[in-house]
Amino acid sequence: MKRRFKLIYLVYFLPIFALAYLVWQNARPILDLNYSGKKTAIAGELVPAARVGTEKDEEGEYKIIKEEPVYFDVRLPRKYDRVKMEINYSNLNNELFEAGISRDAAKKSFDFSALENKALDGLSWHRVEEGGLVLYQRQEIYKSIGEFLSNPGGFNNTLIYRTEVLPKLSDLKSAGETATNFPVLQSLKMAVYHRGGILDIKADADGEFNVYVYNNEGRAESGRDLPAGLYTINIAGGEEIVFNKIFINSPYVAILGKIKFGELQEPLKIFFAGSRILAITDKAEGVQEIEVGGKKLDINRVSEQRGENFETIGLRNANVPRGNIELGAALFFLDNKNIFYPSFENFYNGADLSGIDFILARYSAPEERGETKTAKAEFDISGSQLSGGKIRFLLSLPNSSKGNLVKIRGINLEFSGEKYDFKKIIGKIFGNLIR
């Protein structure tokens, strides 16, 4: 008996259509997302909730940030290489407004990009703009960014903002070695000028640790027989690790960013270069008065950051009597004999620009439409590690106090990645099956 085909049987194609639609959505090289701060299928809510409020005015509903930082997670359906962020906001009550994106799975390390910098916007200096970089000069000396990069300003009169430039390294001819003779906690990141040959790094620690070496371009080096040049060494252990001694066979060692001291047997004198220093302790034994650049800095409370700003960028010394303290925001040196500057000082909120002649920034001012401003940021996420397929976006207003800091009216995200080649994918699957 011949059965007639009924049109209604076409509904059995529904599962196929649904799957095809989802495969297409998951494989698309571009993902557009309009985020309003509310939880969606892909994006989480803007949190912590205590720092964010929801309000409404004639322009519509918006999120108001009351304390920084705030963040949200986005679950990515596939691997993307870049993300463009466009943020609409108004009523910014801070000098700096920045966006960050997580680099590691623990979401502890972030890449930042400037959204608005009122200090730079207000500068009436000479400006040279090229490829997203802006060189602000008090007096016009450089005609192009390239000219500045090949012969940059001095460490004492140059600041950088959200970019990396190497100051001119010269006369690094001394031979010797560097060794710490005090306990260092958790990790230490150092810039080292190596004369070539074996770069010998030794550490004596109570616990397991890893040593990472990166070359000048940020690429990890697996061997230790290295050509002459500047390297970044990162010695990292767990939260409780104590490095009793760290040895490097180069006299040119600068500690980058921060150094966390353990219990000191005797007062320590250390040198630092920059225009400010920050100090914090997380233990009662770390409460003490330290001396920085000839000024007293009283660390009288646990977990409260204290800082001292100086009028000029320069080399100064810090005297730490007891340890159990973290010093940061400068370049640190164990002695003042072989000083070299592997990086410029970063621009920060409240920086004194009176002694500064050059600022090199990766920055473009936001566009204004009435009261609302639109700022753009772009991140390379090809090397970012995801946790559960999620990447974290952070909105930061550095050095701000509590209050109505900024109204967020909407965030557009555009993720872009490599277009999948289905021929290659099928070839790979068959290749694996045959193997």
Partner 1 sequence: MNMKHLFYSLLITFLLLCAAEIFRPGFVLNFLNMNWLFLVLLIFGALMTLRLTKRQN
Looking at 1, 2, 3, 15, which residue binds partner 1 (CB under 8 A)? 15
Q: Which is nearer to partner 1, 20 or 179 (CB)?
A: 20
Choosing from 3, 5, 11, 354, the residue that interacts with partner 1 (CB under 8 A) is 11
Closest to partner 1 by CB, 26 or 312? 26
Report which secondary-structure segment, H or E, holds 246.
strand 242-248
Q: Which stretch binds partner 1 (CB under 8 A): 15-23, 278-286, 293-301, 425-433?
A: 15-23
Burial of 274 (0-12, 13-18, 19+ CB in 10 A): buried
Contact 275, 310 (CB under 8 A): yes
DSSP secondary structure code for residue 327 in this structure = E
User: To the nearest whole angstrom, how small is the minimum distance from the Cβ of residue 83 to partner 1?
Assistant: 16
Sole binder of partner 1 in the list 1, 41, 50, 106 (CB under 8 A): 41
- At a CB cut-off of 8 Å and minimum separation 6, what does 73 contact? 43, 44, 390, 391, 392, 393
User: Rule CB under 8 A: is residue 9 a binding residue for partner 1?
Assistant: yes
**In the sheet where 96-102 sits, what is the strand order?**
70-75, 390-396, 96-102, 110-117
- Would you say 42 and 33 are in contact if contact means Cβ atoms under 8 Å apart? yes
Residue 44 Cα distances to 35, 40, 391, 392, angstroms: 9, 6, 10, 9
Q: Is 20 in the site for partner 1 (CB under 8 A)?
A: no
Q: Position of tokens 């007293």? A: 296
Residue 26 in the binding site for partner 1 (CB under 8 A): yes
Tell me which stretch binds partner 1 (CB under 8 A): 5-13, 101-109, 318-326, 341-349.
5-13
Q: Which residues inside 216-245 make contact with partner 1, applying CB under 8 A? A: none
| Beta carbon of residue 140, minimum distance to partner 1 (angstroms, whole number) | 51
Using CB under 8 A as the binding rule, whether residue 422 contacts partner 1 is answered as no
Q: How far is the CB of 284 from partner 1 (least distance, A)?
A: 45
| Residue selected from 66, 75, 245, 376 as contacting partner 1 according to rule CB under 8 A | 75
Q: Which residues contact 291 (CB under 8 A, 6 or more apart)?
A: 297, 318, 319
Q: Which of the ranges 8-16, 87-95, 153-161, 328-336 carries the binding residues for partner 1, by CB under 8 A?
A: 8-16
Shortest CB 411 distance to partner 1, Å = 18
Spatial CA neighbour of 124 closest among 105, 106, 139? 139
**Interface map 378-407 toward partner 1 (x if CB under 8 A):** -----------x------------------
77 versus 314: smaller Cβ distance to partner 1: 77
Element at 86 (helix H, strand E): strand 82-90
Cα dihedral 398/403/409/412 (nearest 10): 20
Determine phi and psi for 357, rounding to 5 degrees. Answer: -110, -25
- Considering only 14, 50, 175, 434, the residue that binds partner 1 (CB under 8 A) is 14
**In sequence order, what are the residues at sequence separation of 6 or more whose Cβ sits closer than 8 angstroms to the Cβ of residue 80?**
31, 381, 415, 416, 417
**CA atoms within 13 A of residue 416's CA, in its CB half-sphere:** 8
Residue 5 in contact with partner 1, rule: CB under 8 A: no
Of the candidate spans 6-14, 47-55, 308-316, 398-406, the one that interacts with partner 1 by CB under 8 A turns out to be 6-14
- List residues near partner 1 by CB under 8 A: 8-9, 11-12, 14-15, 18-19, 21-22, 25-26, 41-42, 75, 77, 389
